[in-house]
Every structure is written in C-alpha cells, then in structure tokens.
Amino acid sequence: MRLKLVPDNTAFDFFRFARFTFGASCVAMVVSLVLFFMVGLNFGIDFRGGTTIRTESTSSVDVAAYRAALQPLNLGDVSITQVFDPSFGPEKNVAMVRIQAQEGEEAISAETTATIETALQAVDPTITFPSVESVGPKVSGELVQTAFLAVGTSLIAILFYIWLRFEWQFAVGAVAALFHDVILTIGIFAAFQIKFDLTTIAAILTIIGYSINDTVVIFDRLRENLIKFKKMPLRDVMNVSVNETLSRTVMTSGTTLIALIALLVLGGDVIRGFVFAITWGIVVGTYSSVYVAKNIVLFLGVNREEKKDPLAGTQFANAEKQQ
C-alpha cells in the first residue's frame, strides 16, 4: 500500500474559474505594489544601517536574558544570535548583538555602547565586547540596490533558460509567475511590516528556484502532451498536463510545508521572518505555476507544428541529453 494524497486520473478543470483566479492575481499584485510604494518595507539592520557588537563571556549565552536586559534601553530593532564554532572551548561563549542605527547618528555613541555593556553585565558579569562595528546609511543603501539587483538578474537568467529549453511563450509565462511570487511576497511584508533583511532576500531567491522548478515540471509534461494529443485543444492539453503532475505538486509542496510550519512555530524569532517568507512563497509559487504561468501561455498560444525533434522548444532543449 502507498499513500495517495491525490487520486489517480484526476480531471479537474483548472480553467473553470480562470478569469477569477487570474484577475485576483492581478489585483493582488497591484495592491502589493501600492503597499510597497505607499507604506514601504520594514527594513532590518542590513538595509537601514546599524551596529554589530561581538560579545564574549565564560558563561553560556542566554539570548532571552540578553534581549530582556536591552529592551528597556529603547534601541529599536535589536537582533541577538549565538555564535557556534567547533574551535571554541567551553570557556568561550560568543554572541552577536545587532542594533539598528540610532536617529541622527552614523553609529552608536560610546555612551550608548557603555550603557549596553552595563545592561548585559547585569546578566553576565564576565561579558566583554571584543569588537564593535558599524554599518552606515551609505553602505546599507548599497546593500538594498545589490539585493534587488540579485533578484532581477536571477529572473532574467531564468527567462533566458526557459526560452532555450522551451519556447518564448513558455519563458514569458514562467517569468510572469515568478514576478507574481516576488511581488506578492514583498506586498505581504509591507502589509504586516515584517522585518525585511538579507535573509529575506535569500528566501525570495529560494522561492524563485522552487517556483520555477514546479513550473518546469508542468511545462515538460505539457510539451510531451502537445505531441501526444495533436488534435486536442490547447486548453484541454494544459488541463491534462496539470492533472498528471498534480500528485507530484501536492506531495512536494505538502511535505515541504510540514517542515516549514514546524520551523515557523518552534524556530524562534531569529529565523521566523526567513521561514515565513519561504512558507508564503511555497503557497503562492504552487498557485502561480498552476493558475498564472499556464494562463499566460494559453493567451499567447503555442506553435504546434511538428518539429524535427518533437520535444524540442529550441535547438538547446535537449542539450543535457546530447552530452
């Protein structure tokens, strides 16, 4: 016996509510862009600038106690993480305390640093500050530009790959779905003012990779079925293709979400933003693969004339098979 989350030979009509689903996606993207430009993102220390303090002590690091000691100081966004290294002995316990840039200051003043040290020494008298480093607004601004450039470059690279592997209609559909996923992720971060930092950018790049993988699986099956069902209308071929890959989609997304939800609930504040971004991205990525990418391809149409290599979108489609 084997577990079946999806029955064999499903025949769902994924185009039945196409106008509603595609229209809802367009509205959600517009709302997300409005939130991004009108409300803005709650940038973390990486993008706003701030100070990183390395602490060392002979006692074990208590992140919750450190955070409680710094909370009355009203320093704004404070991130505390314990540093693990196999080379550290039992007498060397290290933590990184990251504090957002204070109003009107390039870096926190010596007086503020002394106040922080006094507050933490009340928790652990052996604590010291071996290093204090600051990131100014200029550097943080460059990080913002570099982060968004990384996302944009990845989308362009994927567009080029899908065009080589399939046809340009598939490339446009795939990248439209990826834009949908990225914009909706940014929109929900703007709406709920969840901290947006470099780990969120890493999550968005992960979302892009996951979403395009799901889309390529459906497109591969669609390309095969276009040859198999030459006389069947394109809409029906697409429905058949999505139904044939539905079990794989549900299993992959479902098992991934189980692990992510566990991390979201039990992982703590340090990784919560990162895990939330990926969890949200898995949901919208699966949705866009089924309801956005293929709708774009249906709208643009596909050249169904038989090619010399019936599975090839371009001369590069089967490059990995030719090696």
> What is the tens place of the pLDDT at every residue in 41-68?
887 777 777 788 888 888 888 888 888 8
Expressed as residue numbers, the domain containing 97 is 50-135
250: CATH: 1.20.1640.10
Same-domain status, 149 and 219: yes
Coil, strand, or helix at residue 93?
Answer: strand
pLDDT at site 189: 92
**88 and 66 in one domain?**
yes
Last residue of a domain, one of 67, 100, 135: 135
Q: Verify that 147 and 29 share a domain, yes or no.
A: yes
With a CB cutoff of 8 Å and minimum separation 6, the contacts of 73 are: 115, 116, 119
Q: What is the pLDDT of residue 187?
A: 93
Judge if 128 and 148 occupy the same domain.
no
Based on the structure, what is the number of domains in the chain?
A: 2
pTM of the entire structure?
Answer: 0.74
* Domain closes at, from 100, 135, 170: 135
Whether 130 is in a domain gets the answer yes
Count of Cβ atoms closer than 10 Å to residue 21 Cβ: 17
CATH assignment at residue 131: 3.30.70.2040
Tell whether 272 and 149 lie within a shared domain.
Answer: yes
Which residue do the tokens 């601004």 mark? Answer: 141
d(CA 149, CA 285): 21
Q: Distance between CA atoms of 16 and 14, rounded to whole angstroms?
A: 6
What is the predicted pLDDT for the residue at 251?
85
Look at residue 157 and tell me if it is in a domain.
Answer: yes
Return the pLDDT at 320.
47
In a domain, 218, yes or no: yes
201 contact partners, CB below 8 Å, separation of at least 6: 147, 150, 151
| pLDDT the model gives residue 270 | 67
| Residue 281: closest CA among 221, 202, 218, 222 | 202
Pair 212, 188 in one domain = yes
Positions in the chain short of pLDDT 70: 1-7, 85-87, 102-108, 135-141, 268-270, 304-323
Same domain, yes or no, for 63 and 33? no
